[in-house]
């Protein structure tokens, strides 16, 4: 059997398999369900984010004889013969950019579909068309026959004339979230029986820069050089840099250690690491440090120094395409921070605040009242228990109490909780439990690390006995994919997740009762 590379073998075949473009999928499916098909679409966004795959799935779905909720059935004649259908015409504008190519296409537009309801023209890299080709295409694009649909795909939307854009429905594809890429890589590794280390897949997701095709290409190559995909294998083949190495570089910058910094950069060069990967990894970690400084109430000057470093590094990225020595640009920018008189005092403050990002370190360990062992099982139990008695009336009531408490926190001495509350949405509530959805994974982690203290203060204010849990938006979206309205939820015991330490036993007894407590 002919070998297929992974990105071709696992190309999405229907809307449910598309990853990271949920809003676009929702709109396209609804347009099919309600029979509101436009005559021209333009898909734009970075490479490998699903533009062409979405175009093909959409073309299949609108011609499917038995589509359900916008999903092609994969069983009818149109679905089975989709790959060879004369009604689906794919054109690569990069190699067919001239006016004669477009005129030939226009002549074929008047021919009715052979099998399906629509004849669909998918024009990839459409920004490569010449000015004359655009002009020839304009009238047909504006008023094609009723059974003809154009789908244009491009990575360079700024090169497409406004006269064309104004005649198309535009969809902007976003870089795919790294966590979604990592999850898909894990799934494919399991299907292909490839041994892997999750940390290695996390780094592959980072290297892909939001491009699923790149991620699968890296995975494909690594699977050929080793029986198991590990961080070490990845480092040997792609010049990976670890978080610890980034931390070392950053420490040498803020400590004004010129010699050590130059050695760091030289080591990176000798390892063959792409300077673009190095800069992007540094930007990721520096952003976390900037967040950490804000959370620890560092001085405005300290925050501005980290912000200045982020801006300096970010400014290098667009220059990399025009420079033969990216490392030289990086060295010059970092040298500007060494022995800068304005930054010496600030650097000491940053060092004293321990800038390595760790949301759990936000807690005052001596005053920590957390009694829960926060883990995936505990979170899942709380979600389950919320759904046992979830109802709209309980949500309305809990929302009103929560909003009142938010105002109380804003006015009172509860600013650390207010920052959590304003970034969280009450999603589901019963008479005893509440699920909050946070705007980011970091907020989720911080909120759950303060869960017991937050519960206590809220219940004291509202004179209630709610138990809470915070999950990220991506967690919630993942949960909703498998949510079954007909499922009967049964209350589960969570007492085993109480931390057995001094100061917690009494609180645990109050929560769960003596009959459920076993103290050894």
Same domain? 213 vs 332: no
Residue 315: inside a domain, yes or no? yes
> How many CA atoms lie less than 13 Å away from 145 in the CB half-sphere?
15
Same domain? 102 vs 35: yes
Confidence of residue 500 (pLDDT cuts 50, 70, 90): low
Other residues' Cβ atoms within 10 Å of the Cβ of residue 5: 12
Task: Kindly report which listed range (192-206, 294-308, 363-377, 466-480) carries the lowest average pLDDT score.
Answer: 363-377
Q: What is the pLDDT of residues 127-158, one digit of tens each?
A: 999 999 999 999 889 888 889 999 999 999 99
384 exposed, middle or buried (CB, 10 Å; 0-12, 13-18, 19+)?
middle
Q: What is the pTM of this model?
A: 0.58
CA–CA separation, 212 and 501 (whole Å):
45
Confidence of residue 320 (pLDDT cuts 50, 70, 90): confident
Residue 298: inside a domain, yes or no? yes
In 3D space, the residue among 113, 175, 120, 125 whose CA is nearest the CA of residue 153 turns out to be 125
Reduced to 3 states, what is the DSSP secondary structure of residue 337? coil
Give the CATH number, domain containing residue 276.
Answer: 1.20.272
Same domain? 129 vs 55: yes
Strand partners, 218: none
Domain boundary among 305, 324, 357: 357
Give the CATH number, domain containing residue 110.
Answer: 3.40.50.300
Same domain? 109 vs 149: yes
CA 333 vs CA 269, 317, 321, 347: distances in Å: 16, 12, 17, 17
pLDDT at position 488 over 70: yes
Question: What is the percentage of the chain residues whose pLDDT exceeds 70?
Answer: 88
Same domain? 15 vs 147: yes
Residue 422: inside a domain, yes or no? yes
Same domain? 311 vs 414: no
Same domain? 259 vs 192: no
pLDDT at position 59 over 90: yes
Same domain? 50 vs 142: yes
Domain range spanning residue 188? 178-238
In 3D space, the residue among 373, 369, 371, 384 whose CA is nearest the CA of residue 493 turns out to be 384
pLDDT at position 378 over 70: yes
Q: What is the pLDDT of residues 240-252, one digit of tens each?
A: 777 778 888 888 8
Q: What is the pLDDT of residue 366?
A: 39
Residue 320: inside a domain, yes or no? yes
pLDDT at position 506 over 70: no
Residue 1: inside a domain, yes or no? no
Reduced to 3 states, what is the DSSP secondary structure of residue 313? helix
Same domain? 158 vs 23: yes
As a residue count, the chain comes to: 520
Which residue in the block uniquely carries the two structure tokens 């300096």?
A: 312
pLDDT at position 361 over 50: no
The total number of structural domains in the chain stands at: 4
Q: What is the pLDDT of residues 108-133, one digit of tens each?
A: 888 888 888 899 999 999 999 999 99
Same domain? 458 vs 495: yes
């Amino acid at each position: 059997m002919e070998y297929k590379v992974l990105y071709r073998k696992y190309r999405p075949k229907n809307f449910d398999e598309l990853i990271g473009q949920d809003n676009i999928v929702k709109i396209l499916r609804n347009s099919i369900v309600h029979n509101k098909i436009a005559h021209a679409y333009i898909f734009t966004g970075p490479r490998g984010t699903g533009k062409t795959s979405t175009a093909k799935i959409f073309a299949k779905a609108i011609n499917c004889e038995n589509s359900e909720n916008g999903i092609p059935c994969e069983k009818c004649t149109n679905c089975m013969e989709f790959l060879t259908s004369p009604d689906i015409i794919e054109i690569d504008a990069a190699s067919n950019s001239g006016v004669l190519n477009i005129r030939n296409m226009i002549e074929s537009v008047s021919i009715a579909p052979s099998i399906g309801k629509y004849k669909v023209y998918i024009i990839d890299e459409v920004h490569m068309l010449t000015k004359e080709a655009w002009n020839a295409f304009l009238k047909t694009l504006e008023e094609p026959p009723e059974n003809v649909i154009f789908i244009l795909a491009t990575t360079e939307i700024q090169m497409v004339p406004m006269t064309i854009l104004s005649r198309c429905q535009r969809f902007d594809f976003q870089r795919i979230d790294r966590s979604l890429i990592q999850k898909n890589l894990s799934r494919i590794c399991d299907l292909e029986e490839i041994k892997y280390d999750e940390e290695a897949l996390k780094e592959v997701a980072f290297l892909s820069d939001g491009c699923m095709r790149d991620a699968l290409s890296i995975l494909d190559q690594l699977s050929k050089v080793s029986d198991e995909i590990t961080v070490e294998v990845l480092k040997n083949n792609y010049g990976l840099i670890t978080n610890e190495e980034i931390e070392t570089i950053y420490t040498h910058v803020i400590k004004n250690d010129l010699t050590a910094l130059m050695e760091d950069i030289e080591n990176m060069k000798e390892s063959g690491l792409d300077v673009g990967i190095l800069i992007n990894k540094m930007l990721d970690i520096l952003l976390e440090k900037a967040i950490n400084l804000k959370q620890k109430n560092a001085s405005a000057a300290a925050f501005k120094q980290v912000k200045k470093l982020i801006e300096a590094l970010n400014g290098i990225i667009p220059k990399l395409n025009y420079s033969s020595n990216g490392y030289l640009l990086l060295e010059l920018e970092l040298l500007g921070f060494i022995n800068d008189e304005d930054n010496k005092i600030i650097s000491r403050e940053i060092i004293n605040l321990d800038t390595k990002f760790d949301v759990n370190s936000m807690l005052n360990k001596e005053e920590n009242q957390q009694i829960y062992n926060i883990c995936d099982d505990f979170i899942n139990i709380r979600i389950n228990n919320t759904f046992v008695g979830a109802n709209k009336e309980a949500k309305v009531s809990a929302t009103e109490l929560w909003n009142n408490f938010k105002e109380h926190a804003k006015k009172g001495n509860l600013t650390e909780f207010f920052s959590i509350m304003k970034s969280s949405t009450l999603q589901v509530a019963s008479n005893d439990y509440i699920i909050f959805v946070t705007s980011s994974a970091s907020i989720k982690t911080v909120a759950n690390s303060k869960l017991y203290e937050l519960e206590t203060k809220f219940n004291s204010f509202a004179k209630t006995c709610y138990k809470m849990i915070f999950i990220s938006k991506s967690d919630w979206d993942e949960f909703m994919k498998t949510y079954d309205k007909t499922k009967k939820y049964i209350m589960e015991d969570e007492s085993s997740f109480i931390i057995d330490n001094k100061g917690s036993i009494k609180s645990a007894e109050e929560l769960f009762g003596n009959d459920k407590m076993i103290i050894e």
